[in-house]
Amino acid sequence: MPKHIGIIMDGNGRWAKERGLPRTDGHVAGAKVFRKISDYCHDIGIEVVTFYAFSTENWRRPPTEVAALMKLFKEYLVEADEIKYDRQKGGYILRFIGDTGAVPKELQKLVAKTQLDALDENTTIINIALNYGGRQEILHSVKQIAEKVEKGELKASKITEEDIEAGLYTAGQPDPDLIIRPSGELRLSNFLTYQSAYSELYFSNVLWPDFTTDDLDEAILDYAKRNRRFGGV
């Protein structure tokens, strides 16, 4: 079984278009699938799941769609707080990775509160990549290292991979063993760029709102058949 699964939630807009619905309806449907898959990953013992929810490039989408997505994130966080979704119901904790300082202030406060509420140890970590970009994450880590070098706390010649990893949003978590992308697209789109160096990739033609636990099982079974050599023989 993979310890860490990354999921690129793709295809919401196309799912809605196929049904003659607004793109925002596709995002609402996709949010419901997110909850189901989160619960299922906890049930089968996955340690970490990282969902690509909103990228640094998604700000280029129509303002109405961006506003609807932010509203959807807010509603989910309010629900999570009201029913303690992260602890009592789902058996997992929520983490947010990305530059959350760029999202609306009200959403920032909810994110911060959720992070504080989730300090208890739990069985499954759910990372929600919000205003996230893999290159931006690496830049974030490099800037932290540069500051240490400027202060004389670290010599440039002594910088290690561990120093870079310590500045990533996923510091302390295992790298993703398996990354799943539904919707038929065959790329990572700036998702977990550093961490995915040896990840197994699985692509599916199923649009995210139609993605089921059976589809996840199929991806995991495919992963189990692979021989991970990490550059060895």
pLDDT of residue 86: 44
Mean pLDDT of the chain: 90
Mention every residue, 6+ apart, whose C-beta is less than 8 A from residue 224: 1
pTM score, whole prediction: 0.91
Q: Which residues are catalytic?
A: 10, 58
Which pLDDT tens digit goes with each residue over 16-35? 999 999 999 999 999 999 98
- Calculate mean pLDDT across residues 150-179: 97
Give CA separation, 70 vs 22, 54, 101, 114, in Å.
Answer: 16, 9, 13, 16
**Average of per-residue pLDDT across 33-53:** 93
Res. 145 pLDDT band, cuts 50 70 90: very high
Span 188-205, average pLDDT? 98
Name the CATH topology of 4-132+174-224: Undecaprenyl pyrophosphate synthetase (3.40.1180)
- 79 pLDDT more than 90: no
Percent residues over pLDDT 90 in the chain? 73
- Structure confidence by residue, pLDDT tens digits, 208-226: 999 999 999 999 999 999 9
Q: Do you know the residue count of the chain?
A: 233
pLDDT at 167 over 60: yes
Q: What is the distance between the alpha carbons of residues 227 and 32, in angstroms, rounded to a whole number?
A: 33
Domain ranges of the chain: 4-132+174-224
